[in-house]
Amino acid sequence: MKIGIPAEVDSGEPRVAATPETAKRFIGLGAEVAVESGAGASAGILDKDYEAVGAKIVSTKDAANADIVLKVRRPSKAELANYKAGSIVISIMDPYGNEAALNDLAKAKVAAFAMELMPRITRAQVMDVLSSQANIAGYRAVIDAAFEYGRALPMMMTPAGTVPAARAFIMGVGVAGLQAIATARRLGAIVTATDVRPATKEQVESLGAKFVAVEDEEFKQAETSGGYAKEMSKEYQAKQAALVASHIAKQDIVITTALIPGRPAPKLITKAMVESMRPGSVIVDLAVERGGNCELAAPGKVAVHNGVKIVGHLNVAGRLAATSSALYARNLAAFLDVLIKEKQLNVPWDDEIVKATLLTRDGAVVHPNFQPKGAA
């Protein structure tokens, strides 16, 4: 049983799918581990670090020619040409709206698993890549905001006078939002937060922040069984937008994290809201890769409008590549514990974790959410 760790081909992806810690774990499971030379370099991991735990440093083709291939991003059509038919490929697949890429995976006859489709059940928590990476992104968003903001975040009492604390507003209280709240609080900001899910109010307040929302009957029902936000009615959105607009005008830092799985990110901050903010204020849009929560956000850029900076960094978790790689690698290692038993690759195809994450198998797209149109 061979596990391959290719280097990521996307120049904007510094993370790596295995660390020396997890490579050693795989070897303990009876696997040969083949790491492409330089795969961990951007995450601060040298080839010799992998070799020290027993992994082999190999060429691109040798890393791809494995029974199990672990990646951060979905392999391209060119990469798939080097993969064995019947091999298992595990990565963040980004399947929504990428039907052509799913067809390429199917044609390559690989069993492709999308880690971001991990079900929200207790035993899968340790495999939840969305949470592990969102945690890093939420932290980094505050650091990026502090970098762009031209003032100190905490209140400072000095002989020359008092410096007031910055006001930070977090929009969307999932894993990223909670970490952003905690980080902004640690840095001394006055923090408020909003979310359409009523269960988040207690979480926000437990971190010492103030909750801001229109708390009507629709708000009380605004959560799916999986714990995600529902899309709200136009009427509720209008009421919430009015409340948020008046609140944003008083903020120094706004961090948006709102995403709806399989849909474009909801627009939460309009041009008029940006224009209501003081020059020097900062907005960090963590949803920019899905269309953005701020209508002025530009993917991969720091836009400036009326003196307000709108930060649209891509792959924010990857901006802390060493930490995010370590967590992602552990997510993958936990998933492989499901697929490998008694030092043998033995995929339990009927396991709910396997069924929830399996995209393609035996030359076909098999996940029910991504069936070709017209398929039974």
Coil, strand, or helix at residue 341?
strand
Chain centroid offset of residue 139 CA: 12
pLDDT of residue 376: 47
List residues with catalytic annotation.
120, 125, 128, 131, 228
How far apart are alpha carbons 116 and 90 in whole angstroms?
Answer: 10
Amino acid found at 236: Y
Tokens of 305: 């409008």
Q: Give the residue among 317, 271, 320 at the shortest CA–CA distance from 292.
A: 271
How far apart are alpha carbons 58 and 266 in whole angstroms?
Answer: 44
Tokens of 265: 């990110």
Neighbour count for residue 15 (Cβ, 10 Å)? 27
CB 264 within 8 A of CB 295: no
pLDDT of residue 198: 86
Q: Identify the bridge partners of residue 33 per DSSP, sorted by sequence position.
A: 3
Long-range contacts of 258-262 (CB under 8 A, 24+ apart): 258/171, 258/172, 258/229, 258/287, 258/293, 259/172, 259/174, 259/287, 259/290, 260/228, 260/229, 260/231, 261/96, 261/228, 262/96, 262/369
For 110-147, write each residue's pLDDT tens digit: 999 999 999 999 999 999 999 999 999 999 999 999 99
Through-space distance between the first and last CA atoms of the chain, rounded to whole angstroms: 35
pLDDT of residue 175: 96
Coil, strand, or helix at residue 66?
coil
Name the pTM for this structure: 0.92
Q: Give the residue among 29, 42, 96, 87 at the shortest CA–CA distance from 63.
A: 87
CB 327 within 8 A of CB 333: no
pLDDT of residue 287: 97
pLDDT of residue 247: 96
pLDDT of residue 223: 64
Which residues in the chain land under pLDDT 50?
Answer: 376
Which distant-in-sequence residues (6+ apart) come within 8 Å of 222 by Cβ?
A: 196, 197, 198, 229, 230, 232, 236
How far apart are alpha carbons 229 and 219 in whole angstroms?
Answer: 10
Domains and CATH numbers, the chain: 2-127+321-364 (3.40.50.720), 137-319 (3.40.50.720)
